[in-house]
Chains A and B, each alone.
Chain A
């Protein structure tokens, strides 16, 4: 099994530690990582990405806080549970599909919908970011 590699995009505007968190979650969703698998060590990550070690540690702490991974002293950081792939068939999704259809019927184009959606997201998840 190869080691998960993080791609850090400094220009994305997304905090570096968040990129690691998101890419780890993505790997969990895609099944690239499963419970018991080891995350790359902080040394491996910083050697490959040249980012600050504290950033990696912060990302791992965040993943640990969410209960996705656990640090075993002297051994490394291991995956505790996987993330089920996005609830594709959930009722929420159906509602969103329904809403998108109505937005389109109301004459909104793709960008309008995206802007509206982002604005609502920002409003509702204000406290969660950072």
Chain B
């Protein structure tokens, strides 16, 4: 038994004719039992990465191991919900669940699937899939995934079509599943705030490349928001810096703590805050959009505006 859910090394995917790397040189290790947010702007390669992990797509470079072997060997232990929630339109909800039961002999748990499909604000068993709304389809797709009792749950933009109430309910159901069965969950989203409370692991993709990967608490602890009068934030590595009143606010990767305390006593006066996950993600995304790591935004309002849009 391995304690790794997904291990990728130099993973890449290129689509033939366009010769564009949708995914390039991705290396990370996701431990089992984690709830992982796969975050990045639209077109960052999130769906491609999930499809590769689900054993639906061949990588064109690198390797990936899922639950200790190739993804195709773990087919029965993975559940995957694609972004557009494909379902057979001609079936009823009940027949769709029956399909899950027939295709997953020995694993299927009807009650788990029914709880999601017919639970609070749930659906009619006799309703045809083609008559359902986007959010209701998501519910059925998630019910199929839950009924399978997977060890690894790969969800591509699972909450996009849901109203706030259903979003809260289904996220809660996901978390409950994780508590009870130790399920590893990977959820993608381009909205960081949506996943902030539920995830304890972060994979940040941008332009097909992995910008950040790790435990959220460790990542947050390794970063700080510093506000000071100067532009020099040594010895920390500045990820993004913007003007703030007469001084500057910078998202920094914190240097070694002993150095920090030494610098803290001698350097200019700084106010230190812990960034939220959203600030961390946005800071990293913005810094990579510009060629240099150190960029100066003079318009402070721009900062808050972008945050609000994302939230």
Contacts and interface: CB of A to CB of B under 8 A. Distances in A.
Q: Do chains A and B interact in one complex?
A: yes
Interface of A: 8, 10, 13, 16, 41-43, 46-55
B122 to A, nearest CB: 15
Contacts of B171: 50
A111 to B, nearest CB: 18
A50 B199 contact: no
Interface string B197-238: 111100000000000000000000000000000000000000
B179 interface: yes
B180 interface: yes
Nearest to A57: B179
Given A46-B172, A47-B173, A53 B197 contact: no
B197 A43 contact: no
Nearest to B273: A13
B172 A53 contact: no
B198 A47 contact: no
Nearest to B278: A10
Chain B binding surface SS class: helix
A38 to B, nearest CB: 16
10 contacts: A10-B196, A16-B197, A43-B176, A46-B175, A46-B179, A47-B176, A50-B171, A51-B197, A52-B175, A52-B200
Contacts of B172: 46-50
A65 to B, nearest CB: 17
Given A42-B179, A43-B176, A43-B179, A50 B200 contact: no
Interface in B268-307: 276
Interface string B57-86: 000000000000000000000000000000
A109 B200 CA distance: 42
A49 to B, nearest CB: 7
Contact of A47 (B175, B193, B197): B175
Chain B, interface size category, equals 10 to 19
A53 B196 contact: no
Contacts of B179: 41-43, 46, 53
A55 B169 CA distance: 18
Nearest to B220: A15
Contacts of B169: 50
Which 8 pairs, one residue from A and one from B, show the smallest C-beta to C-beta distance? A46-B175, A50-B171, A47-B176, A47-B172, A50-B172, A53-B179, A43-B179, A51-B197
B117 interface: no
Given A43-B176, A43-B179, A46-B179, A53 B35 contact: yes
Nearest to A51: B197
A73 B175 CA distance: 21
B109 to A, nearest CB: 16
B197 A8 contact: yes
Interface string B176-195: 10111000000000000100
A46 B199 CA distance: 12
B170 to A, nearest CB: 8
Nearest to A53: B179
Contacts of A51: 175, 197-198
A46 B176 contact: yes
Contacts of B178: 46, 53
B72 to A, nearest CB: 29
Contact of B197 (A13, A41, A42, A50): A50
B88 interface: no
